Every structure is written in C-alpha cells, then in structure tokens.
C-alpha cells in the first residue's frame, strides 16, 4: 500500500489570503468578463492599464527591446550575469506582452543574476496556433546557439505563468523532438499553467466564479487561439503538453493555488514530470487564486523568493 501526502503551504497566512481574495473578487464583480466583452484588442488595452485584477504596467528603463531570430523580445541584463532566463508571459495567447512584468523580471534578473529574455510572441486571434509556440521555439533555439556570445554564458533556464508555463513545456518538448536538443536548459519554472486544453476536472468544474479566470474565460481563450478544434484535437501534445513525451526534460518547479481552475493541470503535470524521471518541485498554496503571485500577500512574496532561488541554483549548479 502506498500513501501519498500533499502538504499545503500558506495555511498560516489564510486570513491575509482570504482578505485579498475577497477584495479582488468585489472589484472583479463590477467588471464585464472577457468572454462577454468578446474583444481581444480591448482586453489587451484593459490589461495594460491595470484592469481586471492585474497591477498597472510599470515600464522600467532597465528593459530594452531587441529581436532574436526575427522575434521581438525584451531583455533585462543585470551587472553580473551567471545565466539566462527565457520568460514566456501568460494571457491565454490572446492578451499579455513582454513588457507586462518589468518590475518582477528586473527583480528576478538581479536576485538570480540572470539575463532575462521575455518573448513578445504573436497573439490570437490575429495569429492563432502555432504562431505563439513557433515564436517561443525560435527564440529558445537562438539562445542555445548564441547566448554565450550575447550574454557570456550558455546556462539557460525557462519559465512563465499560466499560458507561459504551457508554452515553456511545449518549447522544451519541441527542442527535444524536432532538434534533438536536450540538456541545454537547466531548469523550468512553471507557475499555474494549463497543460490540458481539453480541460481537466478542476477547469471544467470551476464554473463562472469571477476569480480572475474561470471556465468560460478558459473556453474563450481556447476558441480564440485554436479555432475550430474539438476536445480531442486540443489534446495534441503540441497544444496540451500533458500528453507529450516528458522524458529527458530539466528540473522543474511547479506552483499553483487550490482556488485555481487549473489546479489539476499542475497536479497532473507535476506527477507526469516526476514519473518521467525528471527532478520535480511542487508547491500548492492554500486557497490561492490563479495569478496569486501578482497579489500583495505573504504567500506571493514567499513564492517569488523561492522562484528566485530555484533559478539561481539552476544556473550555478554543476551538471
């Protein structure tokens, strides 16, 4: 008989987490949900101006625009560079941008001593799948070849939030299957990703609760990014990497809250990651929402510090 225990973190900080959740939910209840508005352009503008529970954009002079293999990126380069972190932003491949997290990415760059490359991949519905995945793959391959010349190091890591976490796994699998590249990336930092776009039980059962994203919002993102595909087609490994061959992938840190529609996605992917023989860290935070690291809470600050340490350790480790 095998026993499996899944400890929850953040239990001691539940009062603070609940207070922030309640405050954010009241604010979101006054807004029109994305699927009702049905305007991706307006949704992007709304996000950029601090709407929908997201913090307002703060552009830092430390981030500079560049291109890598023709793909626009935003680069943060601290005084000491020991590695490179390839960042893929969230937003369902419909909203979001490379300049949407300047403060966080500059913090990570300095704390972990890594150059951060954030990809401004193409968005749907103007550019449906596989546009976003293609752009991420191109930048990853460019870094494998040119990172040492550009940044003085070829110690690479990758990661992102929500859709960015999914695209990170898709990119690693593509590098392995299409180009026989394994071992180039030393770690994957995967925050509250959705890895099965045909919808895991938690995503299907979440309903229309207005907690940043919900089941209708997930359907809306999928319809914009993968038009005309049925659930079986959405299970293609290049779309839903939960179904991919996950052998020979780097160590990964997964984090998710229990009040997140993609909770099961993280639980299932972490289990498959470990079963495939890859080193796996899993952090499950009590009652945290999707995107909880954007909130001003103790559990968010603690998780961001743990992510900094994960990236720092990955680029400084001896393989």
CATH of the domain at 60: 3.40.50.1820
Q: Calculate what percentage of the chain has a pLDDT beyond 70.
A: 92
Q: Is residue 317 annotated as a catalytic residue, yes or no?
A: no
Q: How many domains does the chain have?
A: 1
18 confidence band (pLDDT: 50, 70, 90): confident
| Mean pLDDT value across residues 193-213 | 93
Q: Does residue 2 form part of some domain?
A: no
Q: Does residue 175 form part of some domain?
A: yes
pLDDT of residue 1: 32
Q: Does residue 10 form part of some domain?
A: no
CA dist., res. 157 & res. 85, Å (int): 5
Q: Is residue 290 annotated as a catalytic residue, yes or no?
A: yes
Q: What is the pLDDT of residues 210-241, one digit of tens each?
A: 778 899 999 999 999 999 999 999 999 999 99
pLDDT of residue 36: 52
Is residue 73 within 8 Å of residue 139, measured between CB atoms? yes
Q: Does residue 282 form part of some domain?
A: yes
Give residue 112's domain range. Answer: 29-316
Tell me the residue length of the chain: 319
Q: Does residue 24 form part of some domain?
A: no
Which is catalytic among the residues 87, 89, 222, 290?
A: 290
* β-strands 185-191, 252-259 pairing: parallel
Q: Which residue has the higher pLDDT, 206 or 57?
A: 206
Q: Which residue has the higher pLDDT, 55 or 171?
A: 171
Q: Does residue 279 form part of some domain?
A: yes
Q: Does residue 3 form part of some domain?
A: no
pLDDT of residue 56: 74
pLDDT of residue 33: 60
- Token reading at 286: 């009590």
4 confidence band (pLDDT: 50, 70, 90): very low
Contacts of residue 254, Cβ cutoff 8 Å, sequence gap at least 6: 190, 191, 193, 266, 269, 270, 273, 280, 281, 282, 283
Q: Does residue 79 form part of some domain?
A: yes
pLDDT of residue 2: 39
pLDDT of residue 46: 76
Q: Is residue 260 annotated as a catalytic residue, yes or no?
A: yes
Q: What is the pLDDT of residues 67-122, one digit of tens each?
A: 999 999 999 999 999 999 999 999 999 999 999 999 999 999 999 999 999 999 99
Which is catalytic among the residues 196, 260, 264, 265?
A: 260
Which is catalytic among the residues 118, 162, 225, 255?
A: 162
């Amino acid at each position: 008989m095998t026993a499996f225990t899944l400890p929850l973190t953040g239990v001691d900080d539940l009062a603070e987490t609940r207070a922030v959740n309640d405050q954010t939910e009241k604010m979101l209840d006054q807004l029109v949900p994305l699927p009702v508005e049905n305007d991706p352009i307006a949704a992007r503008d709304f996000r950029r101006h601090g709407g929908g529970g997201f913090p307002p954009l703060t552009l830092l002079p430390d981030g500079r625009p560049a291109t890598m293999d023709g793909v626009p990126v935003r680069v943060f380069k601290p005084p000491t560079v020991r590695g490179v972190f390839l960042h893929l932003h969230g937003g369902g491949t419909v909203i979001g941008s490379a300049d949407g997290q300047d403060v966080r990415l500059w913090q990570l760059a300095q704390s972990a001593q890594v150059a951060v490359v954030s990809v401004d991949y193409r968005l749907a519905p103007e550019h449906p799948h596989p546009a976003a995945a293609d752009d991420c793959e191109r930048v990853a391959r460019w870094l494998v070849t040119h990172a040492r010349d550009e940044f003085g190091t070829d110690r690479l890591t990758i990661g992102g939030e929500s859709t960015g976490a999914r695209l990170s796994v898709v990119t690693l699998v593509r590098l392995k299957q299409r180009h026989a590249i394994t071992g180039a990336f030393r770690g994957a930092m995967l925050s509250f990703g959705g890895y099965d776009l045909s919808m895991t039980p938690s995503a299907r059962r979440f309903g229309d609760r207005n907690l940043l994203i919900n089941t209708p919002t997930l359907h809306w993102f999928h319809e914009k990014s993968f038009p005309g595909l049925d659930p079986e087609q959405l299970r293609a490994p290049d779309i839903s990497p939960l179904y991919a061959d996950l052998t020979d992938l780097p160590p990964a840190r997964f984090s998710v809250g229990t009040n997140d529609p993609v909770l099961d996605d993280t639980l299932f992917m972490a289990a498959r990651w470990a079963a495939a023989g890859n080193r796996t860290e899993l952090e499950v935070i009590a009652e945290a929402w999707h995107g909880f690291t954007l909130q001003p809470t103790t559990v968010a600050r603690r998780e961001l510090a743990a992510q900094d340490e994960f990236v720092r350790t990955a680029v400084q480790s001896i393989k």
